[in-house]
Structure 1
Amino acid sequence: PSQREYYKTTFVTRWPITSNRTYVEYYSFVYYLIIKYDNDSTQVLWSSKQSIMILNTKNFK
């Protein structure tokens, strides 16, 4: 999906995993595994909606 389509989803909640830089976020029926980087970019490594989904952005949500 495009970034525009991706950002349409509604943020619901977040669960940290092992550190404050890795967490699962829930966006209305879709789970994402998020990793935060020091340069303030984010990477989506996994999504329950699609088996492969990688997105890098500096303005995540």
Structure 2
Amino acid sequence: MYRFFQVSRSGSCDFVHRLGRPKKDAALTEIIAEQRARSFRTYGCRRMWLELKKRGNYIKT
């Protein structure tokens, strides 16, 4: 089966183990999608980052 789908055993096992985990950035993704809809998809990376920073929901880089 692994040969047929051309995947490694370790990769497929890792994928199966990740299926049940909650996504760590799910809340941030929701906020970005909401803001993107509000701005009619006109916000780029910088404006989106500034909006997230203003709300206090940003990742420090």
Task: Compute the TM-score of the two structures, normalised by the length of structure 2.
Answer: 0.32
TM-score norm. by structure 1 comes to: 0.32
Highest Rg: 1 or 2? 2
Between structures 1 and 2, the one with greater helix share: 2
Between Structure 1 and Structure 2, which shows a larger proportion of strand residues? 1
